[in-house]
Amino acid sequence: MAFTRLLPDETRRPSAGRVLALASLLPALAVAGWLLAGLPLLLAGMLRPWFTVLAAVPVIVLLCAAGLRRLPEVVEATGRQVAAVLAIAVGSGVFNAVFHSEQLIVRRDPATYAQYAIWLAGHGSLPIPRQDAAFGGPDPMLQFDSVGFYDYGGAVVPQFMPGPPMLYAAADWLGGLLLGPPVLGALAVLTVGGVTARLAGGRWAPVAALTFAVSLPILYTSRTTFSEIPSLILLFGGLALVHDAITRARAHRAPTPAGPHTGAPPAAALAGLVFGLATLVRIDGLRDVLPVLAFAGLLVAMRRFRAPADPARPADRGGPAVSGGGGRGRVEGVLGVPLLAGLVAGGGLGFLAAYAFARPYLSYLSRSVVPLLAICAVVLVLTVVGTALAPRLARLRLPRRAPEVGAALVVLVMAGFAVRPWVQTVRREPVTLEDARTARFIMETQKANGLPIDGTRLYFEESLYWVIWYVGVPVVMLATVGAAVLVRRLLRNGAAFAWLLPLAVIGWTTVTTLLRPEITPDQPWASRRLVPVVIPGLIVLAVWGLGWVRDRARRFGYGRRVQGWLAGAGTILILVPPVITSIGTAFTPIERGERAAVEAMCAAIPPGASVLMAERVTGDRFTQVVRGMCGVPVAQVRRAENVDTAPEPEVERLIARIRTTGRTPVVLAATADQVQPYGRSQQVMSLVTRQDERSLTEPPNGTWSLRINVWMSRP
């Protein structure tokens, strides 16, 4: 026994809470480490399996050493609670793996990400060569771009940021590209459970994890190659790391031989780095991490002053006051500069990747990116000014009614979103070709839904009801109550300081997302906008709010039986609505059979072929599929505007040019009559499968049929 007491903490059996704390950080650290190692290799054109693994393993180990070593007790949880969270995460991964989708034919974003990842896994470099020589040299009638892939600078550049494809390329190397999303989905469940345990307590972590796991948008984005789940892992992993850094700083108030704040600044720098890397996954991540910039400035400001304690204010049981709280803010203030440095480093890597690999994508998004950059500049200026004026601002006192006003404002904002459909109809007149395509798509969907035809309708005014469809009224109401109570505490005396950054990130992203979702509004497609922050954030706030209701019952003198009844009833109210919404689609995988169909098509294309796409839909869907999965040079033949097929004389001319290179010309199109003018027709794909429902005014409750045909001729 004496020997055991002399052992260092690292050699003792970890507590259940420590196990959950460490396990819930591993997903974000692993994702961040892989991205940090993979990006330089991709820039060098050397993203190969062994190179990447050899580079990523030590990086991940270093990140884990900074984030996990000597971590204080940040979670109080029992073994059963931890086991429940782990079981829910594993069950989520297995369930979504069984019902995973196979979106490889490029119709919407998941297949674009999949083809992007397939190219990286097979070639390890960008951009994608056009291979003009396989068609007899450059020709104005050859079109090498397609849906999700730009012709830029004499090469083909994939749409989107490279972070998710780098992650999914690892799954492809292991032979399971389509199983990568379920694995990441399971890691997201674990991450959300860990954040909940830190902020609301271990008893609520299983409830939050299960509610999150069964919500339809989470099922939807955990079954195919989206960017939202990796973004969620980084954002909520960053919140957990900041929470732990604050705990480390408080745990080392007194000087030690290693320094007064052992481990806290490195953990804060790591948190900032993880937050910043969210921009490498989604350009929208820049908006999501803006509150982190302001929070880092606040911490720097707290380092610069020691405000006098206000004896009229109650003691702070949840953390230091924002304005000093008797000087205790100086402890957390040491984290400001490291957090800011990490955020700048991670964000800088995201901007570097955007400049190197996604310039045409940023140009396409310029209407959204330019205002976002302007907002970032304003936040940066305000942060710098606030930090510089910190000593003067410390002497200011908020109005006495400010806490109540802040809480009321939270309720009013949610009430405003609730009544928005009755006072506003969001429309957008088409001004670009992409806008016109979106308007046509909305009109077709309205016709299928039996709705009035109006292609300018965006349905953004319904955004709060999207949330209600997927998590239920109880979650939204409890989250609103929880946010109002927390805002009141923060404004009253700085209590619940650990909630300041999570509340800022969740509140800011929820409001901006609901105000302008900026996505085609059909469901479940539009639900992906809610995945990175809105749904998990509201669930975490809701379970905290349920815990607050239970505590209020205890303070009013109600016994354990009533408290238990409230907790049980609240848990059921939280869980049942998302289950009801999800049940209609949870057991129906979509776009199954695409891998086998594509492989059969590739096998039918002769060796040494150069493929011409003579029809619009086939060209949009299969140009990158043929290039990336079949390994064959391919190009579309340009068509006149609003014409689906290419002019026959031009196709014949290009066929002759291909013959001069010694290669075999092949023509692909959607129907037999579209390829018969060039030779004997052969059907190389006849796929019948299921696709997402497209619902505009109610949650999806089923799937639609999908038929894809491809015909080939060998002139």
551-610 pLDDT per residue, tens: 888 888 778 888 888 889 999 999 999 999 999 899 999 999 999 999 999 999 999 999
According to the model, what pLDDT value does residue 320 have? 37
Same domain, 568 and 655: no
Domain contains 466: yes
Tokens encoding 33: 């480490």
DSSP state of 695: B
Helix (H) or strand (E) holding 610: strand 609-613
* Same domain, residue pair 604 and 577: no
In 10 A of CB 426, how many CB atoms?
Answer: 18
Residues 454 and 597 grouped into a single domain:
no
pLDDT score at 252: 67
Indicate if 574 and 594 belong to the same structural domain: no
List CB contacts of 182: < 8 A, sequence separation 6 or more.
92, 93, 94, 95, 96, 97, 100, 222, 223
Q: How far apart are CA 545 and CA 543, in angstroms?
A: 5
| 149-152 β-sheet, strand order | 128-129, 155-158, 149-152
Q: Is the dihedral of CA 674, 675, 677, 680 positive or negative?
A: negative
Residue 12: predicted pLDDT: 60
Is 455 inside a domain boundary?
Answer: yes
pLDDT at 11 over 90: no
Average of pLDDT values for 358-369? Answer: 85
| Residue bearing the bigger pLDDT, 258 or 111 | 111
C-alpha to C-alpha distance for 550 and 568, rounded to whole angstroms: 10
Residue 96: is its pLDDT beyond 90? Answer: yes
Q: pLDDT value at position 512?
A: 94
Query: CA angle 442-445-448, nearest 5°?
Result: 155
> Rounded mean pLDDT of the chain?
90
The set of residues, in sequence order, having a beta carbon less than 8 Å from that of 187 and lying 6+ positions away, is 26, 27, 30, 31, 89, 233
For residue 549, give the nearest of 75, 313, 200 by alpha carbon. 200
Residues 596 and 572 reside in one and the same domain:
no
What's residue 564's pLDDT? 83
Among residues 564, 582, 600, which one ends one of the domains?
582
- The model's pTM is 0.93
Q: Is residue 302 located within the same domain as residue 355?
A: yes
Q: Looking at the domain assignment, is residue 605 inside a domain?
A: yes
Count the domains in the chain: 2
Q: Which of 582, 608, 623 is the last residue of a domain?
A: 582
Q: What is the pLDDT of residues 688-703, one digit of tens each?
A: 999 999 999 999 999 9
End-to-end Cα, the chain, rounded Å: 85
Provide the pLDDT for residue 251.
77
Q: DSSP strand E in 451-552: where? A: none
643 and 568 in a single domain? The answer is no
Q: What is the pLDDT of residue 330?
A: 59
Residue pair 707/691 in contact (Cβ under 8 Å)? The answer is no
Average of per-residue pLDDT across 80-103: 96
- Among 548, 582, 616, which residue terminates a domain? 582
**Do both 343 and 419 map to the same domain?**
yes
Please check whether residues 193 and 152 belong to one and the same domain.
no
Identify the residue with better confidence: 556 or 20.
20
E strand or H helix at 711: strand 703-713
Query: Is residue 258 pLDDT above 90, yes or no?
Result: no
233 has a pLDDT exceeding 90: yes
Ramachandran angles phi, psi of 12, nearest 5°: -85, 160
Give the separation between CA 493 and CA 323, rounded to whole angstroms.
9
> Tens of pLDDT along 437-466?
889 999 999 999 999 999 999 999 999 999
Residue 550 lies in a domain: yes
Question: Worst-scoring range by mean pLDDT, 8-17, 33-42, 605-614, 685-694?
Answer: 8-17
DSSP state at residue 161: -
pLDDT at 305: 62
User: Whole domain around residue 622: which residue ranges?
Assistant: 127-159+590-713
Burial grade of 108 (CB within 10 A; 0-12, 13-18, 19 or more): middle
If one compares 333 and 230, the residue with the highest pLDDT of the two is 230
3-state helix, strand, coil in the chain (%, to 5): 65, 10, 30
Is residue 172, in this structure, part of any structural domain at all?
no
pLDDT recorded at residue 306: 53
Question: Do the Cβ atoms of 517 and 529 come closer than 8 Å?
Answer: yes
Beta bridge partners of 609: 664
The DSSP letter of residue 694 is -
Task: Please give the order of strands across the beta sheet that includes 142-143.
Answer: 142-143, 634-637, 609-613, 664-669, 703-713, 681-692
Higher pLDDT residue, 555 or 706?
A: 706
Percent residues over pLDDT 70 in the chain: 92
pLDDT digits (tens, 9 = 90+) for 135-166: 999 999 999 999 999 999 999 999 999 999 99
- Per DSSP, 160 falls in state S
405 and 520 in a common domain: yes
Closest of 181, 164, 49 to residue 116, by C-alpha: 164
Structural domain contains residue 63:
no
Looking at per-residue confidence, does 364 or 711 come out higher?
A: 711
Q: CB of 499 within 8 A of CB of 199?
A: yes
Quote the percentage of the chain above a pLDDT of 90: 75
Pair (567, 594) in one structural domain = no
Sign, CA dihedral 494-464-526-427, equals: negative
Q: Which two tokens stand for residue 680?
A: 């004997």
Considering the domain architecture, whether residues 192 and 329 belong to the same structural domain is answered as yes
Would you place residue 114 in the very low, low, confident or very high pLDDT band (cuts 50, 70, 90)? very high
Does 61 map to a domain?
no
Q: Is residue 682 part of a domain?
A: yes
Confidence at residue 553, expressed as pLDDT on a 0 to 100 scale: 84
